[in-house]
Every structure is written in C-alpha cells, then in structure tokens.
Chain A
C-alpha cells in the first residue's frame, strides 16, 4: 500500500517546480504552463485527501471538478490576453509588459 505521504511529497515537489517556472521563465506562455503544473499538484492533493481521509465524503471530488473548470477558464483568458498583447506589442516576454507599472 502507498502511504499518503508519498502523494503529498510528490505534489509538493510538482508545485515547487511549477512555482519555479512561474518565477523564472521569461515567456508568458511558459509562465502559464507553470501555473498549470501548480494547479495539477493541488488537484492531486485534493483527490489524495479525499481518498485517504474521507472516502465517504464528496467534497474532495467536487472541489477537484471546480479546479478543473477554473483551470480551463484561466488558460482560455490568459492565452487570449497573451495573443492580444502579442498582436499589439509584438512581444510575449513578461518583462516587456510594463505599461501599467508607473
């Protein structure tokens, strides 16, 4: 049997890899990919807690479903924004998007 700790450690590592991508990558699309990894690790945690702590409940699964919906909405809008910015400013580098900085 696999103890819960394995899943939690795995999800934590995946989350940190995603976080590293978000912090470090220049390309805005790559940043969104990092966010996807983070959301996935959260989902693993939700399902793992449901399975190990309250297998009769439904909350973990329902939350995971809502994470799916939010991830889809986030990707759709995020990529649309990037495409729009690319079309106006010919750049997808996150550091260049500084029009609102001051």
Chain B
C-alpha cells in the first residue's frame, strides 16, 4: 500500500503490526484499531457541526442581505467558539416534576442518533467506518432512534407544550419515514445490495440519473425528518413555544441544536452517497484518497440546497404536511417502486437478444429508467392539474361581491 494514495489503510496496517509486535493478541488489536477508527469518525462528525453552524449562519445572513457573523476571525469563521463557551456557562434549569434520568438522556439520544449514521458512510473506497451488509436498513434504524429521543424529551419535561410538541413531532417524523424507506428501496433494488459502500460501487451511472424521482422523494422526506424549515411547524421559534425543547436550557438545549445542524449535514451526505455516487469521480481508482474530496464537494453542494430551501421556503401547516406525505409522496413512491422493479426485470430479460456492447449496458439501462421516471412525472403532473381544476370547481362557489353603489345621477351632472 502506498502512503500517498491511501494513507488511512497504510497507517492502520502499520499500527496493527506495531501493536502485534508488542505481543498483544489479535482480538485485542482489532478492538483497539476499531476503537480508534470509531473515535476518529465520531470526532470528525462532531467537529463538522462547528463549521456547518458558521456556514449556515453566514449563508442565512447573506441571503437576507445581512453580513452574518463577521467579527471573530476571518469572515467570522470562529464565531461558533465564543458561542460554545457562552452556552457552556449557562445554568441548567430542571423543571419541577421532570423525570430526571429520562430528561437528561433525551438530548444525548437525539445527538447520538444522528452521529450513528456516520458509521456506515464511506468517505473513500477504503476509508469507511464499517461496511455492514445491511447498511441501508441500519440508516433507517438510526432514524427510528431519533424519534425516540424526541418523545422522551417531550414526556420527561412534564409540560403540556413539550408533550404536545413531541407528539406532533413524532407523528411527523414517523409519517415521513414511510416514503423515505420506499425511496431507499429503489437504489437497493437497482444496486442489488444493502451495503452502503457496495451501493456506491454499483453506481457506474449515478442513481440520480436512473431514478430522479426516488432521489427527490428521499431528499424531501429526510428534510422533513430533520424538522427544519419548511417542516419546522412544531418548534416554530418565532410563533409558538419551542415544542419538545421548551423546558431545556443551557447545553442540553444546545445539544438539540447540534443534533439538528448535524442532521441537516448528514442527510446531505446520505443523498450524496446514495444518489450522487459518493466518492466516485475521476482518478479515484488510482488515488483512493481523492474520493474524500469528491464526496465532500458533492455533500456541500447538496447541503447548500438544503440551506437554501430552509431560508427561502415558508412554513407548512400540519394538515398540509401530512397530506403531502400520505396522499402524494407515499403513493408516488409505491408506483415508482413497482414500475422500476418490472422495468428492470424486463430489461435484463431482453438483454441477451439486444447484443449490446459491454460498456453500453449501464447507460442503456439508465436511459430506460430515466424515460420511465419522466413518464411518471408527466402522468403525475397531469393528475395534479386535473385534481386542482376539480378542487377549484368545488371551492369557487360564486359569492356575492361587494360593489360600490352607483352614485346618484345628480352628483355626476
């Protein structure tokens, strides 16, 4: 292994051999290496938040025609550190009647549920936390733990607003998990694997080309899972009491925010990995470390879109949000899944009789899937149009319109 092209594997091998030469047992060395790896991935994810908070505030400011943070360091890039020190010294206020253990557990749970995701995200062909063969389902499971953190926070605070907010938040998270899982089934079906790294390996043509609808559904529903604008109606800070976070103060409150910012970045990384080819890019075969750069370029592009949506969209109502999920996203995802399955099977059935070039097969397949997606989009748009006309016909009953009375003729003359 070359140090320049693949430093992580090189260092891991070197360290493993060193420890083995000290006479430690193989199992123990494996545990130590895994522990160091896990620590690095966790530290990296946590440190990322410091940067993304600054980035998001800066973007937010610039788009609203403000300067954003600009005092500490160049472009205010170290602004987060004074904020961290400030929040560290804030007092914890535990409300009366709170369930202490659960109350303290909830913020930890909501951050760790997001951080856990990073265990299976591949940064480069060889730099991956772990490659379990059920990686995609692991992502879904981690999302389920996040919902648990919310409900624990709401219940243990002993506050009506918290509990109500938690109930609504869980209803939202849980509802949007259905189209998310459905949309994740499409890449699993196309890539014939559940491991995240092997899904990246399977994307000789990016899955966004094969199935843009699945990408959009996944992106939208994971946006909704983060609970940020435009889906932040449960903790609308400017209008309502802050939902399940109402009774939290100091760093415990801060941890919910860390979790939220990290979640936004994590869904960008997931979208980039599963639909935009992850570390794939030119020259990654020769220099695996280059994959990290490609991965982060893609992730930051998606993250920019996430922030842009957060800044520019108005808040939804809860009935609109749930209707959008159950009556639009879920049926669409089901139809997409069925048609994709049938088309893919049909394609591989007729493939032997087509006499295609070996290199052209993925592209022909991608083209067919793209055509199918376009077809579904057109049908959906038509259906939506007719639905809209119908609903307009129902709603638009003629109402008496107030008309200014005709001025008496004498005034005119």
Let me know if chains A and B touch directly in the complex, using CB atoms closer than 8 Å: no
B interface residues with partner A (beta carbon < 8 Å): none
